[in-house]
Structure 1
Amino acid sequence: MNRYCLLAGAAASCLFLPARGTAQGAAPPPAAAPIIVTGQRDVAGDTGSRLGLTEAETPATLERLTQADLQQRGLRTAREAFDGVVGAIAGNVPGNPAVLSLRGFAGNAVSILRDGVRVSTSTVVQRDTNTWHYDRIEVLKGPASVLYGEGALGGVVNLVTRKPVIGERRLDLLASTGSFGTVYAAGGVNIAAAADLAIRADASYQRSDSLYAVDRNASHSAGLTASALWRPDPRWSLLIGVEHFEDRYDATYQGMALIPGRYALEPSRAVRSTGGLVADRALRRVNYNPLGAYSGADETTLRARLDGAIGGGWRVAIDLTGYAARRAFLLADTQVFTAPSAAFPQGGIRQSYQDFRHDHRFWNARGLVVNEGRVWGLRNRFSLGVEGNGTRFRSPRRQAPATALPEVDLRDPAIIAIPNGAGLFTTSDVIFDSRLHQLSLFAEDALNLTPRWLVLGGARWDHIALTRTTIQNASGAAERNAPRFDPVSWRLGTTWTARPGVTLYAQYTTAVSPVSSILLASIANSRFRLTSGAAWEAGSQARAWGGPVY
């Protein structure tokens, strides 16, 4: 998509600087105070470890997209950002507008975090949010259950929101326009409210006639994030934040219907089935969804984090998170070609229909203690944490067969109404009601055997208690299951600095994942044990072009 962008962050920042001037003939200004330049370690963040390791000390493949990277590369949405990750493939499906595949794993096997907290599987919670609100996006490739629990078989993506900066006054603005009537606007402000208090707020809005050049596929998304950082003492800080995101996609696009090759006007060689079905490029923009079909979400997160140093090399951190969301998926979910007839000489399309909704509530509490000291005279970093959370997930779901919607013309489909009537939704008119509680204990240790050689180990135990009920709305019959899981994940790795800027690393790590999303699994699937996986990884990284190269 071609876009013409206006970046006004640097210029707008000047609005917050105090004006200065010297009258003609006035005394010269006093000598400038000394300029002090400080450096900062290249810390990998909490995504690869909770020990404050640098990227070179982390025995894993990490990738980081900063806000500057996102702006320079024009990555405006989560899907675009995920697609910009090396080795990742991102796409769009109605139930998961920013589906991500990482190292061959997709959906439930890749975890998406918000500031280090996993709300649920990515296929349930991830939306195509505006990237303006993220300070950076960190990607840990490979199994990561030892850090984040079930579901991290293929890797982890951590969306780190922008935070206030003490003592800084700043205003950032962004506006852009593009093809298909696309408009994007965003802004953020950092306010130094006091010497020890800063506040940051960001807002964004995007609308488009169609992000994918499809008929009747208008969309809009918006976000609002705000947080306050209080640091009454150099050793302690308290962060309180709120995030709200919403989006809507009209007549969600289901992709091109495959049709017999003999009826295609512009058959594509890219997609062909063994049965002779092809993708017809002439149908590229056609949308068969009924009038009023849409996909949308509205979600709000409240969070608080307390960090502090308690002496003797010990630090503590407490994270509290509350989350609420409502989502809706109203769409024709399958498209079947019908042979030409008197009514439709070029062929027709029949579709089934679904109406799925989510009412999602979640809380999470995590406590962590970290120590940096000496063991037998060697530098050692150690962490121990406990995490607990609870989820209430209620999902009314109705599905109607292909006979529920009238047949429409293949080339020029009539815009039809959403099907209605109790007779259309029978055994598929159900409510999924899930209650999920998890308790986790985890620990990590990094020991420097020499200044250049580090050994890292970690382990995690999860207790997962699911209560799942499927209710038939027509009869009131209910089927229940209450599985319990107690997986243990662990990893062992090492890094060695071969020379300044060049590091060799290796690790063995394990992970677990349910058969499908634990909140949406059928009663039958919820009876299966968790899938387990393991990976060996070895490689090297070097500093180049301002970052690590693996």
Structure 2
Amino acid sequence: MRNLTTCAALAITAAATPLHAQTTPNADSDADNILVVGERQQPSLTTPNTTGSRLGLTALETPATLSTIDGDLIRARGDMSVVEAASRAPGISNVGNLGNGGTALAARGFSGQGSVLQLIDGVRLFPVAGTITFPTDPWMVQRIDILSGPASVLYGQGALGGAVNVVMRKPNTDRTDIEGEIGYGSQNTVHLAAGIGGPLNDRLSYRVDGSYRRSDGFVDRGQSRSYALSGTLRWTPTDTLVLTARDDYGNQHPMRYFGTPLIDGHLDTAIRDRNYDTRDGHARYRDNRTSLQLDWTPSASLTFSNQAYRLTSKRYWLNLESYCWVAADGFCPNGLNENPATPGQIYRTGMTGIVHDQTQWGDQGSVTWRTSLADGIGNDLVVGFDANLIKMRYSHNFGADPQVAVVDPFDFDPGVIVDTQGIAPRYRTRTDEISIFAEDRLKLGDHVSIVGGVRHERDRIKRWGIAPSGAESFALDKTLTNTTWRVGGVYQPVKTVSLYAQYATGVDPLGTLTTYSTGQVQFSNATGDQVEIGAKAVFLGGRGTATIAAYRIVKKGLLAQRTPTSPVEQIGQRSAKGIEAAVSLDLPHGFGIDANGSILDARFDDFISGGADFAGNTPPDAPERMANLWLRWDATHQLQARAGLRYVGRQFSDNANHFRLPGYATIDATLSYAVTRNVAVDVHVYNLFDKDYATNAYGDQQWVLGRPRSVDVSLRAGF
């Protein structure tokens, strides 16, 4: 399938690019289509969505916070990655770095792949050591759905903070679309993309996409490149049966950058573009997913669905990862070096080579039954299963040393890798997951509905150690079982307004299932629950939407150690409470506003580690103030301007709250001009005021910086 996808993508690379983005109606004529942005989409609050509920409820009908970001909107804003696009949703922040595949997110006070679940087309992805590297490119994205708060009832363990579902592009069954893009910008950034899809006949349709990106990066030796391919074939042999076969492939060589060390506790702009990795540092990710989806609707009240899939991931790192500034006493402020070094220099350590070799097989099936119980009373029920087998082989060379350990902060030879051990297999694991789930909605007339769900999951992890000779030794066999549930009510005084309340439970692993260690065998998963209330509304004839939610989440079962000599116990607790709100308005004369914000209070309630009491502290990677604002102006039928503000408040990188990342605000802007009905030019300006800021930390004294001011220009065409 991958070869077929590649050939089809190459065949269309000469095709040009679409202008099907959104049209915003104005007071004079809501029928006008502005070519630069395309056709206006139905308000997301009234669109059926399977991410927040397997029953396909709309956001207005779902007693939870569900945000949707349309793929055309992602591309119009110029977002260059899935994580960048997702972090524009209410209460979501980017905590990605090279170590976790650049995809980790934080939501409602909880962060990382073990608390914010990643999905593709509704299928849960299993991380290795907190790392996920798929999907690859936003060009392939139809939309991103974000369910905030516990999602374990729907998707299993690892979703206490939320779940992010990337829905990939599907074939258009009505007409053939050809689209493409070619762009160039700052840091010698290049983007080429093309796609084609449509009906082959009354029963068969297809879509093929390809995307290539490269850049020199904003630090020394910061080159990156990637390409992604996808192909879909949709067959409807009867009016009630749909079969969809799909293959997606991604190959990434990300920027080899683990962050910039602080000097005397501060960011020194003189080393803003320095890269302290070695000259020959390396990183590469290859992911390939193949899936077959069956949807059968024998009657209006009965639906069967099944999706079988296979995902392979091969990831490789060999880099010098940790750096710090040496203080006057000869030691790093964070204690990185055991022996004294030259003050005023940068001490480098952490020469690490890692290989993940992972394969995930799975099958997910469900049956949905919709019935009327009495006059005005209806019931929708879905029952299903989810089964996965994940095989993973983990290789590393922990303990290797760099060629040059201490360098001048400003002028140095980066050196090369000195691998004293060699990257070799160290252990392998097998993870078997099986779940059964059910969800039900009881509709009591036109105004009230009750939604509930339950899921029982069983995870069994086996681990074998691998000796240098290649001999294997059995290390552990651990079984984890969890039952999670949720119940909520929705009251709709009118069809366009919802008031709701929900109670939900969730489960997070202590680490990562696929890399479960012998030290975790005696413990179970951490558990949590959430209470949420909120309101949603569509107004101004669909030209405005608004949501607001208040919540409190409590997570129990953290590993704690009362004194340095006492045993580790599973007794810790943390919590988060907050408010999230969003509003979207299409105003007269072509103006539009999209805004959201969140206020969070996250803290450790009871957490002692190594005798240090962290109660009352803010957990790492939990910004407590966030906001996004986008302004849009459709000046004419040919010209559109956008400006976006992203604000992320301060956050900490350690449990003791000794190391703080300052808050930041950046502004992006886009100008789009339609040269003809089929060709447009876009100018994207990122970080307009050239703000120096850190998105997160890699270690306490090492900040992962955001992209400086950059300008990208692209030519799009579509037919």
Deviation at 1:344, TM superposition (A): 7.2
- The one-character-per-residue Cα deviations of 1:24-58 (angstroms, maximum 9, x if unpaired) are xxxxxxxxxxxxxxx99933421111112111100
- Larger deviation: 436-445 or 164-173? 164-173
Deviates more, 1:173-182 or 1:322-331: 173-182
Are the structure 2 counterparts of residues 229 and 486 from structure 1 closer, same or farther at C-alpha, using a change threshold of 3 Å?
same
Partner of 1:431: 426
Q: Which has the higher contact order (CA 8 A, sep 6+)?
A: 2
Using the TM superposition, give the Cα deviation of residue 399 of structure 1 relative to its aligned residue in structure 2, in angstroms.
1.6
- 1:524 counterpart letter in structure 2: G
Cα distance 1:479–1:306, how it changes in 2: closer, same or farther (>3 A)? closer
Q: CA RMSD in A?
A: 2.6
Q: 1:492 aligns with which of 487, 492, 508?
A: 487
CA distance in 2, matches of 1:105, 1:361: 27
Cα pair 1:349 1:410 within 8 Å, conserved:
no
Specify the SS of the correspondent of 2:504.
Answer: strand
CA distance in 2, matches of 1:414, 1:70: 40
Name the residue aligned to 1:47.
Answer: 51
Partner of 1:234: 239
Name the CA shift for 1:470/1:11 in 2 (closer, same or farther; >3 Å): closer
Match of 2:268 in 1: 280
Residue 381 (structure 1) aligns with = 380
Aligned partner of 2:127 among 121, 126, 137: 121
How much has 1:312 moved relative to structure 2?
A: 6.3
Residue aligned with 2:84, SS: helix
CA–CA distance in 1 between the matches of 2:415 and 2:501? 58
Q: 2:205 aligns with which of 198, 206, 213?
A: 198
Deviations 1:476-520 (A, max 9, x none): 684611110110010001111122421101100011011011112
Residue 142 (str. 1) matches residue 149 (str. 2): yes
Judged with a 3 Å threshold, the aligned counterparts in structure 2 of structure 1 residues 334 and 477 are, in CA distance, closer, same or farther, namely farther
Q: Does 1:355 align with 2:353?
A: yes
Tell me how far apart the structure 1 counterparts of residues 346 and 359 of structure 2 sit (CA, whole Å): 42
SS at match of 1:9: coil
1:157-176 map, 5 Å: 157-176=164-183
Residue of 134, 152, 161 corresponding to 1:154:
161
Stretch of structure 1 that moved more, 165-174 or 51-60: 165-174
Q: Deviations over 1:111-168 (max 9, x none)?
A: 1101000121383223572101011000000000000011111100000000112232
For residue 390 of structure 2, what is the aligned residue in structure 1?
A: 391
Cα separation, 2, equivalents of 1:200 and 1:463 = 37
Residue 257 (1) aligns with residue 261 (2): yes
8 A Cα contact 2:95 2:111, kept in partner: no
Alignment pair present for 1:442 and 2:401: no
Q: CA separation of 1:7/1:156 partners in 2, compared to 1, >3 Å: closer, same or farther?
A: farther
Measured at CA, do residues 236 and 416 of structure 1 come closer, stay the same or move farther in structure 2, by a change above 3 Å? same
Structure-2 residue corresponding to 1:35: none
Aligned residue type for 1:110: V
Shift of 1:429: 6.8
Structure 1 residues 212-227: aligned runs within 5 Å: 213-227=218-232
**Counterpart position of 1:92:** 96
Aligned 8 A contact 1:344 1:409 in 2: no
SS of alignment partner, residue 515 of structure 1: coil
Cα distance between partner residues in 1 of 2:356 and 2:224 = 20
How big is the shift at 1:332? 1.2
State which drifts further: 345-354 or 194-203: 345-354
Name the counterpart of 2:67: 63
Is contact 2:75-2:138 (8 Å) kept?
no
Separation (CA, whole Å) in 2 of partners of 1:500 and 1:448? 13
Secondary structure of the residue aligned to 1:473 is coil
2:306–2:365 Cα contact (<8 Å) kept: yes
What SS does the aligned partner of 2:74 have? Answer: helix
Listed as ranges, the gaps of 5+ residues in structure 1 are 1-5, 13-38, 262-276
> How many pairs align?
496
| Partner amino acid, structure 2, of 1:387 | D
1:82-124 Cα shifts (integer Å, max 9, x gaps)? 2212211114311221221111111110111010001213832
Mapped to 2, the partners of 1:404 and 1:461 lie a distance apart of: 51
Does 2:252 match 1:247?
A: yes
Q: What residue is the counterpart of 1:268 in the other structure? A: none
Post-superposition offset of 1:392: 0.3
| Structure 2 letter corresponding to 1:391 | I
* One-letter code aligned to 2:454: A
Pick closer, same or farther for the CA change 1:434–1:156 going to 2, 3 Å: same
Q: 2:399 corresponds to which letter in structure 1?
A: A
Matched, 1:523 2:480: no
**Match for residue 459 of structure 1?**
454
Distance 1:412 1:171 in 2: 49
Aligned 8 A contact 1:121 1:151 in 2: no
2:10 aligns with none
Output the CA distance in 2 between the equivalents of 1:504 and 1:515. Answer: 35
Which of 527, 533, 554 is residue 538 of structure 1 equivalent to?
533
Q: 2:258 corresponds to which letter in structure 1?
A: Q
Provide Cα deviations, 1:148-200, integer angstroms capped at 9, x if missing partner.
01111110000000011223211111222221111112111113211111010
Structure 2: how far apart are the matches of 1:57 and 1:292? Answer: 53
**TM-score (structure 2 length as normaliser):** 0.65
For 1:509, the equivalent position in structure 2 comes to 504
For residues 155 and 120 of structure 1, what CA distance do their matches in structure 2 show? 15
**Structure 2 residue 46 is the aligned partner of structure 1 residue 78:** no
79-88 or 517-526: bigger deviation = 517-526
Amino acid at match of 1:77: S
Q: CA deviation at 1:546?
A: 5.2
Residue in 1 that maps onto 2:626: none
The CA distance in 2 between the partners of 1:249 and 1:73, in whole Å, is: 22
Could you say if the C-alpha distance between residues 151 and 480 of structure 1 is closer, same or farther in structure 2, counting changes exceeding 3 Å?
same
1:443 counterpart letter in structure 2: A
Matched, 1:8 2:17: yes
Flag the 1:150–1:346 CA change in 2: closer, same or farther, 3 A.
closer
Q: State the structure with more CA Rg.
A: 1
Answer whether contact 2:314 2:355 (CA < 8 A) is retained. yes
Gaps of 5+ in 2: 1-14, 22-41, 331-340, 549-719
Distance 1:128 1:217 in 2: 22
- Displacement of 1:450 after TM fit? 1.9
Match of 1:101 in 2: 106
Is contact 1:303-1:320 (8 Å) kept? yes
Report how far residue 297 of structure 1 moved.
0.4
Counterpart of 1:111? 117
Name the amino acid aligned to 1:256: T
2:193 aligned to 177, 186, 195, which one? 186
CA distance in 2, matches of 1:120, 1:11: 34
Distance 2:237 2:447 in 1: 37
In 2: Cα distance, 1:187 partner to 1:526 partner = 48
Aligned to 1:336: 324
